[in-house]
Structure 1
């Protein structure tokens, strides 16, 4: 997965990578050549007392060192830029894929996991790419080149390398294999910490209201302890790597000095050659240590790449049309025809055989007990998810075939849980229509019964809104969400229990203003409150996902027992009449 991900997203950067490899090759070649020059200075300059030779080779070594420094800087520069570009592209791809998901896919992964995959997982892959460009490219060159140069100094003494390299390789491989499952568990535990923390931040008021601070503290402590335990287990394995490598290095250095001293004493090699051999041994070991450092990062990056590929490989259940319809024969007409909706793996459908029609200038209300499928039915119209059976038609065209931009202009949804984005009141109101004028914004606020409290704010339309609208009350948030949809001026308005946080007086005033504002539009209201929908032109009664009644308030009170029970649970017989 990791190789495939890197191959896919590094393909556009072939030239910078080729230049980086060239610079690393030059830099490593210069590093490998310096010990040989140092040996020549010792054997032919210092031993013989030739100062001129020492100066000439010293200048050459200085020039090679300058080249080495510049090549190293260039390699790091191109490596950092390419790794940053990789992270940017992968994050963009993940973001685009998440944006295409329906509510079903978002629920499957969960918001905390999606956030972790977009941030931490991508960062791990990006860090691996950076380390590969700066360390891993030069490590094999230095290791192979060091072995060749060491053989050039003394073949017999190079037998030490036959013992050193395999021991290091086997040690690192065993540790890496044991770390890989721990890294997967670590990312999953990180998801859990994010989920718990997100719940506690979002539900802070509920926690305080029920005085559950100690319980939530223990819950977060347990999730944090689980993550800490896995991190410690991984850290212990990682901590073994460098002691093992250093032990092998020190033992091999002692062996080289021991056997090298005997060969120097016998005249087989010179002091300079032994010094160069020791330098090459250290370079080989340094290359192995760099590779070790890389191998420590590979298991975690590989797990992160799998999680990213899992997300990128998930197709949305709401697929954009291949040949979208840009023009419609009607305007403001909504038809739901024999619709069924079933969640994956569910034994029973949430909706079954639901049929209704809504026309311009009419208000259609949907009412039913909790869990009867009201919000699900409304979500099928703007394609928050697609029906698993039947058809949803907007202006005579199946919503699966409508152009998404046309759909956004035609259908306006006020969700059950209104959400405001960080910014200002004006930026939130213009979310669906960026070119809306201030007059249009104020007009929408007047209709939504929100103009008075906005005028009382110091900055008016420019008053700041916190993420999620947490700095305004639930009723104010709901009215601003209604105003945002009014600014959009769609042909079909969908209100998903959008008046529940309003008092009766505000609810009545808002509905009266809405009636005039949406006189030529199609309005569909989902509500639990009977007073909100009793004056609708058509009321649809849902029960366990089926339509069990349809008509106006008077007709349903006389003929539909389910509707009558709902009404009488809220109103007296006289009020209902």
Structure 2
């Protein structure tokens, strides 16, 4: 382990505890920048110690002694120190922005990777809650990890330097000045758990509000169809009112915890001022020394408050850390594995059923190159069953799926999903161009390859007529396209994968029958040796010449509280019609 990694490990453990090990690489990469900013900050702090001493010299050796030459000398020195301090402050600010922003970007990238790598066996979190964590919680961690280290280092330096100057000026008053520290520590130790509780409440509230907003914006077309925009908007008021109440409660508490140490510090400072003033009146202490002492005491107030504040800020940062750790924890990640060995695309399902499947466990052998229709009533678990082959769903206990003789549970999920291409009914497209969406499947695909796949899905002629070709703009979620166009683009994208097995899960449900039949014929002609699984309740997809038709049957052991098997009432209605 390198020196930088060791330092990062110690810093993370002291700031957040042993459970924050996932944060160590981020901090290690940020340490050089933090060190540089800290060095410039300490340089500025060292310069900041000079003005009070120069002021003392100007008063005692210039004004009081009546020495004009000394007056000019120390006044000039103060001006020069001020210019240098100003320049170093500007440099420090720019460096701070550069390296703190880089750390935040690194942390967000790390967290986005963790979110994208979440195991399919875990429940999917709400989008708004994920966004709140990627945005707000990462910023909270970055501020504490970056600024906290800087504040701690700079504050300790200023306190040590200031304390040394205080004791050099008058050790008895210096002892009096330090009396506020233990009192403040006792109070903040009492207040810290309450600070953490209030931070948890506010973070949870922000996540709930963010989720509501994301869901509302995503569901705008549905709200418009129902004419329910106003009704939905009314639900925002209680959410915002609750968040505002929590924010006010937290702010009151933070103001209290900030005010108490300030009052204690002010009382001690007043006592120092009176005691020092009496010494000046008695002629036992120079006036310049008292002024310098008060200046150094004032300079130490900020660093002391920073250190005490870090103690409280750590409680809030730990709340954010716990929320991020839910994603970053290694147990939440998708289990890895080896790349699948080359094979023709045979599948075997053994006692297979999704965790929420309602059908009898399936024992099924699909030979390479076969065309299979998976049938059964809605909601029984057909989509989940085929998703098991690509590790896109959580299996029930004892369920196993094999691709060309290899248990998919031990295979690398990314490589597996390129071998078993699943095209769901709801096609998800991303803001950008058509080419960018297609190249998600094959970043190195040539334009010729893209056009060939578009020919197979019947989109090539449409694109030529529009005159935009592969540069066709696609808005968020592909809302500028029809449902059938989105489905065809999703199929096109899947055809660019090096798949052995192609799963079409209600993929052509929004494509007209002649076009759907043409697409299926093109796929079969282009990939005659590939294994194809089809789920379709209606349309041309059910008319293919299948090698197998597998019908899932409801498990009678999984009955509702009314004694009905899954889909029993639905089947009864269908039979009645």
Tell me if both proteins adopt one fold, taking TM over 0.5 as the criterion: yes
1:381 matched to 2:389: yes
1:157 matched to 2:173: yes
The answer for the alignment partner of 1:114 in structure 2 is 130
**1:39 deviation in Å?**
1.2
1:57 matched to 2:57: no
The answer for the alignment partner of 2:6 in structure 1 is none
1:413 matched to 2:418: no
Q: Distance in 2 between matches of 1:319 and 1:334?
A: 21
The answer for the alignment partner of 1:553 in structure 2 is none
Alignment of 1:308-347 (within 5 A): 308-316=324-332, 318-321=334-337, 323-325=338-340, 327-328=341-342, 330-342=343-355
Q: Contact 2:349–2:400 (CA<8 Å) still a contact in 1?
A: yes
Q: Distance in 1 between matches of 2:210 and 2:534?
A: 36
The answer for the alignment partner of 1:9 in structure 2 is 26
Q: Distance in 2 between matches of 1:567 and 1:237?
A: 61
Q: Contact 1:339–1:351 (CA<8 Å) still a contact in 2?
A: no
1:539 matched to 2:555: no
The answer for the alignment partner of 1:103 in structure 2 is 120
The answer for the alignment partner of 2:504 in structure 1 is 495
Runs of 5+ consecutive residues of structure 1 not aligned to the other structure: 344-348, 547-561, 573-577
Alignment of 1:19-418 (within 5 A): 19-105=36-122, 107-241=123-257, 243-291=259-307, 294-295=310-311, 297-316=313-332, 318-321=334-337, 323-325=338-340, 327-328=341-342, 330-342=343-355, 350=358, 352-385=360-393, 387=395, 388-404=397-413, 406-418=415-427
Runs of 5+ consecutive residues of structure 2 not aligned to the other structure: 1-12, 557-566
Q: Contact 1:128–1:298 (CA<8 Å) still a contact in 2?
A: yes
**1:435 deviation in Å?**
3.7
Q: Distance in 1 between matches of 2:134 and 2:124?
A: 16
Q: Contact 1:83–1:129 (CA<8 Å) still a contact in 2?
A: no
**1:217 deviation in Å?**
1.2
Q: Contact 2:47–2:81 (CA<8 Å) still a contact in 1?
A: yes
Q: Distance in 1 between matches of 2:248 and 2:178?
A: 34
Q: Contact 2:34–2:150 (CA<8 Å) still a contact in 1?
A: no
Change (3 A) 1:242 1:13: closer
Q: Distance in 1 between matches of 2:439 and 2:571?
A: 37
Aligned positions, number? 547
Change (3 A) 1:18 1:205: closer
**1:249 deviation in Å?**
4.8
| 1:420-479 deviation line (CA, Å, top 9, x unaligned) | 122122222332123434444334333323344433434133110112111111121112
Q: Contact 1:104–1:317 (CA<8 Å) still a contact in 2?
A: no
| 1:299-353 deviation line (CA, Å, top 9, x unaligned) | 32221112122321142474111x444x32x31322223324326xxxxx65653
Q: Contact 1:497–1:526 (CA<8 Å) still a contact in 2?
A: yes
| 1:96-144 deviation line (CA, Å, top 9, x unaligned) | 2222223333x34333222222222111111223432553322222233
The runs of 4+ residues in structure 1 deviating greater than 6 Å are: 565-568
Q: Contact 2:391–2:413 (CA<8 Å) still a contact in 1?
A: no
Change (3 A) 1:173 1:317: closer
Q: Distance in 2 between matches of 1:70 and 1:136?
A: 22
Q: Distance in 1 between matches of 2:498 and 2:279?
A: 92
Change (3 A) 1:279 1:209: same
The answer for the alignment partner of 1:430 in structure 2 is 439
| TM-score, with length taken from structure 1 | 0.85
**1:229 deviation in Å?**
1.4
The answer for the alignment partner of 1:525 in structure 2 is 534
Q: Distance in 1 between matches of 2:496 and 2:486?
A: 15
Q: Distance in 2 between matches of 1:35 and 1:312?
A: 49
**SS of the residue 2:532 aligns to:** strand
Q: Contact 2:118–2:333 (CA<8 Å) still a contact in 1?
A: yes
Q: Distance in 2 between matches of 1:452 and 1:569?
A: 40
Q: Contact 1:380–1:392 (CA<8 Å) still a contact in 2?
A: yes
Change (3 A) 1:238 1:362: same
- Aligned CA RMSD, in angstroms, stands at 3.2
